[in-house]
Amino acid sequence: MTDSKILTREEAVQQAARWQAAGQRVVFTNGCFDIVHLGHIDYLEKARNLGDKLILGLNTDASVSRLKGPLRPVVNEYARARLMAALAFVDAVTLFDEPTPLELIQAVRPDILVKGDDYSVENIVGADFVMLQGGSVQTVPLVKGYSTSSLIEKITKSYPA
């Protein structure tokens, strides 16, 4: 079942168009989602509650390494995609390898673009495009004290090699 929610870019574009044609509001967000924690779950659930369907753009392993460093990701892209697809409030997962999700956002054309409140709308990649298309850009509050980087740091300090 979860595999069926992992889509190619073209499949994600087609699925978004079908949902929109049926009158459903498509929400889009993106991220690495390496070592899933409460902050991720809360964020994605809040994002999905802003519309009818949630498409998650997931950074590829190579993209995560470029962003986070050579030791990341901890969890490979297939496993991360399966984990995200297993969440009831995630309707589709699609991978992207570009430095930003702009091309994917332009292809999917979501009604609502979401990021955490650690971003301002002016700094959200794709915000201008979505708003020009008549969509909206939202930020949702993040759960304080949860991040993959801090979790990795805690583990490495607790269990030194």
Left (φ > 0), alpha (ψ -120 to 50) or beta: where does 126 sit?
left
Total domains in the fold of the chain = 1
Kind plus residue range of the DSSP H or E element containing 153: helix 148-158
* Structural domain boundaries, residue 92: 2-158
For the stretch 52-107, pLDDT in tens is 999 999 999 999 999 999 988 999 999 999 999 999 999 999 999 999 999 999 99
CATH number of the domain bearing residue 70: 3.40.50.620
Helix (H, G, I), strand (E, B) or coil at 115: strand
Share of the chain above pLDDT 90, in %: 83
Residue (of 67, 148, 52, 144) closest to 101 by Cα position? 67
The pLDDT of 126-153, averaged and rounded, is: 89
Beta carbons of 142 and 58 less than 8 angstroms apart:
no
pTM, two decimals, is 0.92
